[in-house]
Amino acid sequence: MPASGNSQGNGRERWGSPSGFVFAASGSAIGLGSFWRLPFLSQQHGGGAFLVLLVGMVVVFGLNVFLAELAIGRAAQRSGAEAFASFGGRLWSIVGVVGAFVAFLILAAYTVVAGWVIAFSLHLLLGTSTISADAPAKVFEVFLADPVQPILGGGLFVLLTVWIVIAGIRNGIERVNEVLVPLLLVLLLLLSARALTLPGAIDTLAQVLRPDFSSVDAAAILAALGHALVSLSLGFGIMIVYGSYCAPDGGLVGKASAIVGLSTVAALMVVATVLPLVGVADEPSAAGVRTLMVVVPRTLLQHPFGIVFMLIYFTAIIIGALTSAVSMLEAVVAHFGDRHGFGRTQSAPAAGLYAFLLGVPLTLSIGSRPDGVSTFGHRFVATIDTLSANTLLPLGAIAVALFVGWVMGARACVEVFPPTPMGKRCSSIWLTVLKAPIPVAIAVILLAHLFG
């Protein structure tokens, strides 16, 4: 895959087509979070009530902040820190620097989990003489005792991510996502259909997702907000970077709506897959490494064509992790390119290497206790996941809303809405919402959770 030289105007690379941008941004949004945390959050916070709340958060907060990040990037033609500085001065660039650092931390966490999934699936398929229903649990114990294979899997994952990012926007990120995102949606459709056709699966899912609005408290509201931001890659500058690669003509509302819709549908298909499989297995919780690696594959292997669907399951997780990791690495690469003048061939391997090196001790420590649960590595991954979703990304969303509402103002509206009477009315409403209602509402949710 050769390095990309596609650029226009100021030398910045451009998406090759609107659909390429939609698939790339959707690939960023459909990540490990849907497999790793959404089914558990649904269990924990009122079943169907939480999903209703989540969809509401996506529409009210997610779509508006999504448009704001795209507008910042396309208007500035720069990544996070430099984009904020272009319109608000150097003090605002701190928001972009923090965003790039958060993207790097999440990339390191993804490297740990993806390394496990890659090594685990390869070991099951190639290193196990008989793939029976108890094979996942046996391999899991082997990996806990000697996690060298997950480290090698993480290395392979990082190499693939770096290779895609070095190839550039059109020849790398766009081209890969145009293939992998439609494939991922097909795989999720097959998985959810398989899960829902298992004996008792529909009843199990109906029971787990029975709406319980009495469980919707401050913690549930914050969890829904956090996952809405995570599921759209908001709050840490990725969509600012992706917006900077958009051509300077045409509205963004239709593209943003398509991306939000695709990512939401994909997330709901993951829920429709994981919760029935966990419920049929009579497991109390749909959270953690063990559920990801043992419970779901074991349930699939207990039914016809189990090996095929297990392979589909692991492939879907790897694709989701890869397309998201590519966007995170691109956010870091764009930051160092715009701020320090580093090229892709310099910054992508360096950032990938540091993410891998950070992931090595984390992966090793996951196996340092027999249960593999209370170790530093697991706590780090879980802490980064929770801290990002429940604190850092909401704070980033507040900053983005205030910046567009009060600093950029009409300049951002030009990037989002057409210059028609209807477009002007929409612009006025959008800016008003960003100036106070959205940042105030997010701040209230954070404070309500913090102070109980």
What domain range is 366 assigned to? Answer: 18-450
Read off the pLDDT of each residue in 359-379 and give the average, rounded to a whole number.
58
What percent of the chain clears pLDDT 70, i.e. is strictly above it? 92
pLDDT at 212 exceeding the cut of 80: yes
Q: What confidence score (pLDDT) does residue 94 get?
A: 95
1 confidence band (pLDDT: 50, 70, 90): very low
User: 84 lies in a domain?
Assistant: yes
Q: What confidence score (pLDDT) does residue 374 get?
A: 43
Lowest mean pLDDT among 122-126, 163-167, 197-201, 247-251: 247-251
Q: Which residue has the higher pLDDT, 367 or 316?
A: 316
Q: What is the pLDDT of residues 25-45, one digit of tens each?
A: 999 998 887 887 888 889 888
User: 261 lies in a domain?
Assistant: yes
The total of structural domains in the chain comes to 1
Q: What confidence score (pLDDT) does residue 381 get?
A: 67
User: 240 lies in a domain?
Assistant: yes
Q: What confidence score (pLDDT) does residue 7 get?
A: 40
Q: What confidence score (pLDDT) does residue 372 get?
A: 40
What is the DSSP code (8-state) at residue 172?
I
Determine contact, residues 337/47, Cβ cutoff 8 Å: no
Closest-CA residue to 173 (of 11, 324, 7): 324
3-class DSSP state for residue 12? strand
Q: What is the pLDDT of residues 398-450, one digit of tens each?
A: 999 999 999 999 999 999 998 899 989 999 999 999 999 999 999 998 888 77
CATH of the domain at 206: 1.10.4160
User: 181 lies in a domain?
Assistant: yes
What percent of the chain clears pLDDT 90, i.e. is strictly above it? 60
- For the chain, the 3-state helix, strand and coil shares in percent, each to the nearest 5, are 80, 0, 20
User: 4 lies in a domain?
Assistant: no
Q: What confidence score (pLDDT) does residue 180 get?
A: 97
User: 341 lies in a domain?
Assistant: yes
Question: H-type helices in 281-409, by residue range?
Answer: 288-290, 296-301, 306-340, 344-366, 376-387, 393-402
Q: Which residue has the higher pLDDT, 319 or 391?
A: 319
Q: What is the pLDDT of residues 121-157, one digit of tens each?
A: 888 888 665 678 888 888 888 887 777 888 999 999 9
Question: H-type helices in 58-92, by residue range?
Answer: 63-76, 80-88
3-class DSSP state for residue 8? strand
Q: What is the pLDDT of residues 229-271, one digit of tens each?
A: 988 989 889 999 999 999 887 779 999 999 999 999 999 999 9
Read off the pLDDT of each residue in 371-398 and give the average, rounded to a whole number.
69
User: 405 lies in a domain?
Assistant: yes
User: 7 lies in a domain?
Assistant: no
Beta bridge pairs of residue 12:
8
Q: What confidence score (pLDDT) does residue 3 get?
A: 39
